[in-house]
Amino acid sequence: MNTRTLTVALACIATVALVGCDPAATDAAPETPAATEPAAKAPAPSAAEDEPAEKKAVPTFVGMGLQSAQDTAQAEGFFSLRSHDSAGRDRLQALDRNWKVCSQNVAPGKMIPTDTTLDFGAVKLEEECPASDEKAPEAAGGKMPDFTGESVKAARGALDSGTSITVTDAAQGRMVLMESNWQVCTQDPSPGTALGGQPVEFTAVKFEESCP
């Protein structure tokens, strides 16, 4: 037993034996408890995520220019806005100032959350609003719809995207370039024919013209 161990042993004997004393253990370095990192806490949800959207009364938009209607809606806190062609011609409202509102999907005065989507039906300024929004045609039940009088663009949109479609001018042999400005005069296959991937042919004239 070395001198250091003997000295520690004598010190242990001299003390009250409340706990065990192992002289050999003193030669070993004391163990340091391993440092532990605190568990990461999930971020608390922000107040904005918990709070429902504010409710406000919907203004009257019918009769307004489309751009003015959108500006008014945004000023009231409604920022989710859409618009569509009330005439059913599937035209895009590329320049909002050239369109006027004919219908709105939420009645004026109704209290709704401001994150609700508002949808405006519109026609061009020089056009009359229809009594109700015209619906685009649909190829229901796999049958060829009656597209007579519908815009060529709406007719194309009602058919499968892979359908081969030929459109010719029924009056003057012109190129049919902007299909939303042309109305269908004749079609092949005829209405009610089962659609099985066959090509489709339309003749058409511009909307301000009469079919021959």
Give the residue carrying structure tokens 């406000």.
56
pLDDT tier, 52 (very low <50, low <70, confident <90, very high otherwise): confident
For residue 51, what pLDDT band results from cuts at 50, 70 and 90? confident
- Higher pLDDT: 136 or 59? It is 59
Q: Residue 20, class by beta-carbon neighbours within 10 Å (0-12 exposed, 13-18 middle, 19+ buried)?
A: exposed
**C-alpha atoms less than 13 angstroms from C-alpha of 64 in its C-beta half-sphere:** 15
At 174, list the tokens: 């012109």
Three-class secondary structure assignment of 61-111: CCCCEHHHHHHHHHHCCCCCEEEEECCCCCCCCCCHHHEEEEEECCCCCCE
pLDDT tens, position by position, 124-167: 999 999 999 998 888 888 999 999 999 999 999 999 999 999 99
pLDDT at 49 (0 to 100): 62
pLDDT (0 to 100) of residue 23: 46
| SS3 call for 212 | coil
| 205 has pLDDT over 60 | yes
What pLDDT is recorded for position 18?
44
> φ and ψ at 9, to 5 degrees?
-65, -40
pLDDT digits (tens, 9 = 90+) for 161-197: 999 999 999 999 999 999 999 999 999 999 999 999 9
**Residue 187 forms beta bridges with which residues?**
202
Q: Could you tell me what percent of the chain has a pLDDT over 90? A: 72
**Which pLDDT score, from 0 to 100, does residue 159 have?**
96
Q: What integer pLDDT is reported at residue 37 of this predicted model?
A: 55
Letter for the amino acid at 69?
Answer: A
Domains of the chain, earliest start first? 53-124 (3.30.10.20), 140-206 (3.30.10.20)
